[in-house]
Amino acid sequence: MNAPQSKFFVDSHFHVFDAGVVMPGARYVPRYDAPLSRWQAAAQGAGVTRGVLVQTSFLGVDNSRMLEDLRQHLALLRCVAVVDPDCDRASLLRLHDDGVRGIRLNLAGVPHAIGGWARAGVIWDAIVELGWHVELHTDIGGLLETLAQLPATLPVVVDHIGKPDAVSAADPTVPGLVARES
């Protein structure tokens, strides 16, 4: 007889941040707070039992706020961090121990040529070894260009539905994703 399985309902992408707190040069400055407690209240009301906290673009590689919330709620959360292309293996292993399970490349509003990431073999190897994923946030129509620059072995999560040129199965983004999976 099989043991009953617990059901988990997961919010796979949300952010926490403080109003006005951004890295220098951020393209967006939030005018409102988005504390973890607000997400928890909304999630509980919707029957969501787990969450994936994703680092915002305007906080850059300063994952400290996200990691603080994660450490306090490790049974509830996992996180997707933002790191520099030259991040070392030891730093990735520390993030893994903290509960991080992926990295985010947020390319919205910036060139999609990810040259600096071409030398990120240490990161790509660690992602595969640790069972992580790369979460991609691109501009409209930029997903395929970005995917072509990444090792085919990387598990990829497409942020914001991949922002195709057109909302249609015929858009090149859809078969491009299918081809990568094959």
Residues 82-128 pLDDT 10s: 999 999 999 999 999 999 999 999 998 888 889 888 788 999 999 99
pLDDT surpasses 60 at 4: no
- CB-based contacts of 11, cutoff 8 Å, min separation 6: 39, 43, 48, 50, 51, 52
Alpha-carbon torsion (52, 10, 139, 33), positive or negative: negative
Alpha-carbon torsion (86, 52, 95, 123), positive or negative: negative
**Whole-angstrom distance, CA of residue 104 vs CA of residue 158:** 10
This prediction's pTM? 0.89
What mean pLDDT is reported for the chain?
90
Q: What does the pLDDT read at residue 160?
A: 78
Q: What does the pLDDT read at residue 116?
A: 85
Instruction: Determine contact, residues 148/118, Cβ cutoff 8 Å.
Output: no
Could you report the per-residue pLDDT of 128-165, keeping only the tens digit for each? 999 999 999 999 889 999 999 999 999 999 987 777 77
**Whole-angstrom distance, CA of residue 167 vs CA of residue 151:** 27
